[in-house]
Amino acid sequence: MPNLIDFVKISDFEWELPVSFSTSMSVPVRIFATEKILEAALVDQSIQQAINAASLPGVEGHVAVMPDMHQGYGFPIGGVAATSYPNGVISPGGIGYDINCGVRLLASRIDVEEAAGELSNLAYALNHYCPTGLGVSGGIKLSLEDLKQVCETGSNWALKKGYATQQDLRRTEEEGNIKGADFKKLSERAKQRGLPQLGTLGSGNHFIEVDYVDEIFDQDAAEVMGLSQGKLVVMIHCGSRGLGHQVCSDAVQSLQSAVKKYGIHLEDRELVCAPINSPEGKEYLAAMRAAANFAFCNRQVLAHLARKAFKSVFLKKTKGYELSQVYDIAHNIGKIETHQIDGQLKKVCVHRKGATRAFGPNEIGIPSEFAKIGQPVLIPGSMGTSSWVMVGTPRSMAVSFGSSCHGAGRVMSRSKAKKTFSGSQLRTELSQKGIQIQAGSLAGLVEEAPAAYKDVDEVIEAVVGAGITKKVARLKPLVVVKG
């Protein structure tokens, strides 16, 4: 295990563990964090997991780790690793079980003071329209052919069904449709788990949150995004539900034999992987993309349902209740991208696990209206704390494969949180802060207690200090709906 003295300090917000630290490492590990955050991270296995990832076949440049880092399966959550394409490997552990878990932000023209008397009604309406909870089924009934279209065309299916607008798709990463998905690569179990779950939130740290724009730091960028001081916004955080989890479970199991077949040495068996250009690698990549498209469509349908909730509460009371899309971005995904690495443009498979794409201005792949400001980066806080809207920068392209953090990052396990906090007390504390809560269970609420997470503002200061994002707006919560 490394100690703080093993790191080379590049700046107050950037540290590097050189390849000389371990004979297994092919590339350095680059950490974006304050010294305080880095020291705290040395307590769990997150840095060791990054070291292990730096040994994968075909890994390029360096392994990047964000300040919201914590221990995950194989890779650290908050980790970014690029492998050469097509001769490097793809690893399910570098993407995660909740494939394309991500965040969508919608903006309204409703002033927070106008809405004050309707927040409890709004919390109830969102909970009513948007199904939550472990394994819950939704109101969207899919045939097997529908599910195939969802998995292979993503949010385009929702557009055809009237659940989306053209702007929604334009302001979604990959326009809500990652090419190369193949429904046939999903197991029957994955399909059966996905059939009833489109348009559902799930449990764990997934949520729908109504916030207001508390402070704007970049007025020009905020105007482009449609954000105004004091206006309500909606943040949706969820992923590919049981379908995505099953895709990862299937791959972790099946790729055990691929490791032996291709003679791959692993520092940790949780790093199970396969060459991208192998039959096994191609099969996982196609299934992962199908799950990612399901997740894009899932958040799109939830956005449609959130719009129905807002309309039911505000239609006869105030103007501006319509919710316009700001952006939708994944933070658990593998993408084929081109990056400048060691002075050369290289095509690589970028694994982002608990890390958000943060492309800078004028980069290919972001909507034209954001070309001058950079891609929106959405960073939810822990329940009851600030969330942030940022933009990517040219430096993120140079040092972090166009990536940033994805949230606050846990400092306490869910089991420890259950032993530490009281659900009723937490509900009372949030209520005293003026936050309306709709939760499926007190146990689930306790798992996501704010004290179980890092200070999101400190995490934000680290990525801003490192120059990989810029602040646009800070959001403050009013309503939280959780499974």
Q: Return the structure tokens found at 288.
A: 């992962």
Q: Return the structure tokens found at 311.
A: 């309309």
Please check whether residue 346 is in contact with residue 364, taking contact to mean a CB–CB distance below 8 angstroms.
no
Q: Return the structure tokens found at 2.
A: 């490394």
Please give the C-alpha separations between residue 89 and each of 267, 284, 286, in angstroms, as whole numbers: 14, 11, 14
Q: Return the structure tokens found at 280.
A: 């096994």
Q: Which residue has the tokens 């890092």?
A: 454
Q: Return the structure tokens found at 147.
A: 């599910």
Work out the number of other CB atoms within 10 angstroms of the CB of residue 451.
Answer: 12
Q: Which helix (H) or strand (E) holds 38?
A: helix 35-41
End-to-end CA distance of the chain: 37
Reported residue count of the chain is: 483
Bridge pairing between strands 356-357 and 231-238: unpaired
Output the CA torsion 179→203→46→83 (10° steps): -10
CA nearest to 122, candidates 382, 314, 319, 302: 314
- Is-catalytic flag, 406? yes
Catalytic residue among 62, 245, 339, 406: 406
Which residues are marked as active site? 406
